[in-house]
Amino acid sequence: MKLLLLEDDSGTREDLERVLSSAGHVVDACTTGQDAIFLASSSEYAVLILDRMVPGIAGLPALKAIRAAGIRTPALFLTAMNGVEDRVEGLEAGADDYLAKPFAAIELLARINALARRPPISDVAATIAVGDLVLDRIRRHVTRAGQRVDLQAQELKLLEYLMLHAGEVVTRTMLLENVWSFHFDPKTNIIESHMSRLRAKIDRGFGRELIHTVRGAGYRIDAG
Amino acid sequence: MRVRSLKPAAFGSAAFRFALMLAVVVALGAGALLFTVEQQVGYYAREASDGMLRAESSVLAAEYAELGLSGLTDAIARHRGSDADPPYRYLLIDRTGHRLSGDLPLQAARIGQGSVAVPEDLDGSRHVERLATQVTQLPGGLLLVVATDSFDVQQLRYRLGRFTIWSGIAIAAFALIGGYLVGRVFLRRLATVNRSIDRIIDGDGAERLPMIGFGPEFDDLTRNLNRMLERKDAAMEALRQVSTDIAHDLRTPLTRLHQRLERLQVAGAGDPDSIDAAVEQTNGLLATFEALLRIGSIEGGVGRRRFGPVDLSELLDRIHAAYVPVVEDCGQTFIANHSGGVTVIGDPDLLAQLFTNLIENAIVHTPSGTRIVSRLRTIGTEAVAEICDNGPGIPSDEREKVFRRFYRRDASRSTEGAGLGLALVSAIAGLHQAKCTIPDGTEGLCVRIGLRLSSANDQVTDSPKHHGLP
């Protein structure tokens, strides 16, 4: 994928470029908001990755200008700013996601993947299937190998999010944000506790496991 | 402490006291003025009647000098006339005190000016009239007393006195009402200033005091206070900027360190366990840093601009559902007892963080087998949420301290965390003007958060959107 990276700190920028290139992406990097506006409006990108605190036009007004120019490319803010309001401000300026520094490289890659393929066709599908696991999104019930599996509301939401991103890595933070609307990092293992219950219901006793743990990152559901 | 709001009917209010003082001053002034006028009028009336008596006396004395005693008695009879209420009344006595003429009582015959009481039948009712007298000694040992009706003067003085009293009362009442109304207007303006000050105390840095009006001195006061606020704001802003810069400058190399460690992790180079531990340690360091900055920015009042209605019942239900498996995995139990439809004004993300911090605190600091309870009910205009456990609790002398930054009880030194969880709870509660208390008389630890209920007339400046990611 072709990505635009706005980051003024040379060390971080080089690291990010390396991480993104090694994941198979093509990166156009720039250091000022002006350059970002110019590049975003003159070339097609899959995702814009913007740092908020950069010299010249900052990330936030730069994205506003890009959006005002009618460019709908998914955008993700990266920032060291620790603000209670930063996330909301970013989203209001037209960002699609927000990642506070420091973050794991895999977290960034997972989010770029999720953004680039948005909106997935399955978002509007009535049923989603991964292997022999089928989720009926209207009647809110799940079957595995034709057998009905009873899930609690939050387990169902968790499974739905995983299945909507089948084959992709979904991080803990993505799950916290999208399943529980928690925009902070709890100290306890909420995700692990729910995941082990979900696995016990949909994977145990069915031979092949569908939910996989991705070391140091999160989870992935696929039929393998 | 919040300033009492101005109650219009309160007799103890400053407006009423101000009006009362004003009324007393005005009443005293009016009283003094009218008393002086009354004295002057009375004096003038007395002077006038005395002059008239002297003139009448000298006319009669001249008659006597010219025409002798018979001329005098004739003149008295002539002057007296047949009128029922004559202008002058007379008494003429000889050396031995015998009445020669006139109808005044004999005791009126005292040399000089004086007065005499004369019983009189007026309009069928008996009353005593005081007459002013002028006594003149005539040659041959005669004493002539001329008296005149002092009634007019008395009536004037009586009326003037009554007028004085009623005017005094009316002016005082007018001053009281006027003073109260003016005072209320003034106090209303002061109340708007006080409300501004409250908002500033609560962390609204952009708030400035409104002009009081009523005079340049008051406006100078406001201007000076506002200038003081500007200066303090500038200093605070500089401090905040420094913190943000530090955050930026420190986190960038930390992020790089983190990324490098991750690359080693992915490459499987070196000792994987050591690298995992190093990643964990950088994470811990960054989390502490993050929490500190977050507390700082919340205490700075950032975040209140986005306040909107939050369904606290839904929020606590969601948190409960999220934490039940975690609590169960730790061998504890988690019970929810939430009233439905409880809405407060606040930031949903921050409130969620507040309650998860309390729950995590309970999970971490109590042994297996502990019962954790999340409660929500309304008491009056307040939503009262509690996270309680039946664990070991904390002694009452430490209850205030646990909300401080980096405070860790000796008993919890062995557990993880930097001691910022409850400090963040306290900061978020402060931002919401919520009461954060540890009530007595409960087993274990109970943290109570009292939030003001949202009501229909609460003004919400920003759209109350819930900013969840799609």
Encode pLDDT of B69-98 as tens digits: 888 888 888 887 767 677 788 888 888 888
| pLDDT on residue B416 | 55
The pLDDT-based confidence of B122 (bands split at 50, 70, 90) is: low
- From chain A, the residues in CB contact with B427 under 8 A are none
Under an 8 A CB cutoff, do B468 and A177 touch?
yes
Q: Which fold has domain B304-452?
A: Heat Shock Protein 90 (3.30.565)
Report CA torsion sign: B53, B58, B61, B67: negative
Mutate to test the interface with A, among B252, B275, B318 (most CBs of A within 10 A): B252
Mean pLDDT value across residues B239-257? 71
Mean pLDDT value across residues A20-30? 92
Q: What is the CATH number of domain B216-299?
A: 1.10.287
Under an 8 A CB cutoff, do A187 and B416 touch?
yes
Closest-CA residue of chain A to B292: A82
Under an 8 A CB cutoff, do B258 and A104 touch?
yes
Closest-CA residue of chain A to B261: A104
pLDDT at B469 over 50: no
- From chain A, the residues in CB contact with B353 under 8 A are 182, 184
Mean pLDDT value across residues A192-220? 90
Its CATH architecture, for the domain B17-159, is 2-Layer Sandwich (3.30)
Mean pLDDT value across residues A59-85? 85
What is the average pLDDT value for chain A, to the nearest integer? 88
Domain coordinates in residue numbering, chain A: 2-116, 122-221
Calpha distance B212→B219 (Å, rounded): 6
Chain A residues whose C-beta is within 8 A of a chain B C-beta are: 9, 11-12, 15, 19, 53, 80-85, 87-88, 91-92, 97, 100-106, 152-154, 177-178, 180-190, 193-194, 196-197, 216
Are residues A137 and A160 in contact, defined by beta-carbon separation less than 8 angstroms? Answer: yes
Question: Count of CB contacts below 8 A, A vs B?
Answer: 127
pLDDT at B33 over 90: no
pLDDT at B470 over 50: no
B415-445 pLDDT per residue, tens? 555 677 888 898 899 888 888 888 887 788 9
| pLDDT on residue A74 | 93
Q: Which fold has domain A122-221?
A: Arc Repressor Mutant, subunit A (1.10.10)
| pLDDT on residue A126 | 85
| pLDDT on residue A122 | 54
- The pairing of beta strand B382-389 with beta strand B371-379: antiparallel
Closest-CA residue of chain A to B321: A154
Query: Which CA distances in Å does A224 have to A131, A151, A167, A214, B370?
Result: 8, 23, 8, 14, 42
Q: Give the distance from CA B419 to its chain's centroid.
A: 41
Question: CB contact, 8 Å: B84 with chain A?
Answer: no
| pLDDT on residue B467 | 41
Mean pLDDT value across residues A117-130? 72
Compare B260 and A8 and report the one with higher pLDDT. A8
pLDDT at B385 over 80: yes
Closest-CA residue of chain A to B285: A102
| pLDDT on residue B410 | 60
Domain coordinates in residue numbering, chain B: 17-159, 216-299, 304-452
Interface predicted TM-score (ipTM) of this complex, two decimals: 0.82
Closest CA of chain A from B338, distance in Å: 18
The pLDDT-based confidence of B460 (bands split at 50, 70, 90) is: very low
Reply yes or no: is the peptide bond before residue A102 cis, omega within 30 of 0.
Answer: yes
Mean pLDDT value across residues B135-139? 85
pLDDT at A90 over 60: yes
What is the average pLDDT value for chain B, to the nearest integer? 80
Query: Following DSSP, what letter does each residue of B286-313 receive, concatenated?
Result: HHHHHHHHHHHHHHTTTTGGG-EEEEHH
Report CA torsion sign: A150, A155, A161, A165: negative
Predicted TM-score of the model (pTM): 0.62
Two domains, one topology: A2-116 and A122-221: no
| pLDDT on residue B212 | 78
For helices B14-80 and B151-201, angle between their N-to-C axes, nearest 10 degrees: 170
Residues 281-300 of B with CB under 8 A from A: 282, 286-287, 290, 293-294, 297-298
Q: Give the distance from CA A83 to its chain's centroid.
A: 20
Are residues B76 and B101 in contact, defined by beta-carbon separation less than 8 angstroms? Answer: yes
The pLDDT-based confidence of A83 (bands split at 50, 70, 90) is: low
Where is A19: in which H helix or E strand?
Answer: helix A10-22
Mean pLDDT value across residues B175-202? 83
pLDDT at B282 over 80: yes
B90-112 pLDDT per residue, tens? 888 888 888 888 888 877 777 67
Where is B337: in which H helix or E strand?
Answer: strand B333-338
State both tokens at B335. Answer: 């019970």
A134-168 pLDDT per residue, tens? 999 888 999 999 999 999 999 999 999 999 888 88
| pLDDT on residue B386 | 94
B291-309 pLDDT per residue, tens? 777 777 777 666 777 788 9
Q: Which fold has domain A2-116?
A: Rossmann fold (3.40.50)
| pLDDT on residue B464 | 39
pLDDT at B174 over 70: yes
Question: How would you class B301 by CB atoms within 10 Å of its CB: exposed for 0-12, middle for 13-18, buried for 19 or more?
Answer: buried
Mutate to test the interface with B, among A82, A155, A189 (most CBs of B within 10 A): A82
Mean pLDDT value across residues B179-190? 82
The pLDDT-based confidence of B465 (bands split at 50, 70, 90) is: very low
Residue A127 CB neighbours (<10 A) = 13
Mutate to test the interface with B, among A49, A84, A190 (most CBs of B within 10 A): A84
Mutate to test the interface with B, among A103, A188, A191, A201 (most CBs of B within 10 A): A188
